[in-house]
Amino acid sequence: MFPMLKKESMELSRNLKIIIAPLVMILLGLSQPIVLKLLPKLIDSSTLPEGVVFQISEPTAQEVIASTLSKFASMAPIVVCLIVMGTIAGERMSGVVQMVLVKPISRFQYFASKAIAYALLIYLSYLLAMIIAAFYTIVLFGDIHWTHAVVGIAAYLPNLLLVISLTLFASVFLKSSIGAAGIGLLGYYVLGFFPSSSGVNPHAVTSEAMNIVLHGSSQSDFSFIMISLISLIFLISGVFLFKKQEL
């Protein structure tokens, strides 16, 4: 497994994903505090009809962190799909998979190394982005409750794993990288149509993560458990299909 993880880390470095992923995540994280800070000033400086008064109170630091999580919920799935989409589909098209599996490396090791490498890349990029956003929020809006913020930020991780697992699963049976990204993103959004009470809606995870940031607790842990289980099911299914598939 270690040689495959080493190969994946070298591949991520070669195609610059190890730089692109954190940079994009950091831009997403920084944009929200800046926009929320400038918005009242932009409204005050804008020309409004006579007699119209439009006031926006400055949010608290915790509200800014929660809003940043919401921003990630809308944009991060697209970013993750674009980063992960070619990891298996692209290598199948180029013949890399066939060359790698000639060596004494099992298909499970190949798939698992992909999942671990991309999960680490996305997780670390997201956490770095949120840490920088949190410090920037402190500068602009004042102190934050670190315990609530850290737990809430970590609580969003199952959604990222869900996007990774869906895209990897699609990448197993599709030779098109764009198709894998499309199926992964479609699957994520389809789950979003389910009721929040079902536990399979990723938006419920975002909502509960925001509740933790704002109030220090979630109303239910059911969605965290269910989304994590669904992600695991797609990863296991991906391994099973990859083992049965002709390359």
State phi, psi for 215 to the nearest 5 degrees: -120, -10
Tens digits of residue pLDDT in 40-66:
777 666 665 655 555 677 889 999 999
Tens digits of residue pLDDT in 60-113:
999 999 999 999 999 999 999 999 988 887 777 777 777 777 777 888 988 999
Distance CA 116, CA 99 (A): 21
Distance CA 11, CA 97 (A): 13
**What pLDDT is stored for residue 244 in this prediction?**
84
**What pLDDT is stored for residue 198 in this prediction?**
86
Q: What is the DSSP string of 107-142?
A: HHHHHHHHHHHHHHHHHHHHHHHHHHHHHHHHHHH-
pTM, two decimals, is 0.91
Tokens of 139: 């500068």
**What pLDDT is stored for residue 1 in this prediction?**
66
**What pLDDT is stored for residue 189 in this prediction?**
94
Residues 247, 92: contact at Cβ < 8 Å? Answer: yes
What's the number of domains the chain is made of?
1
Q: Which domain holds residue 91?
A: 1-244
**What pLDDT is stored for residue 166 in this prediction?**
96
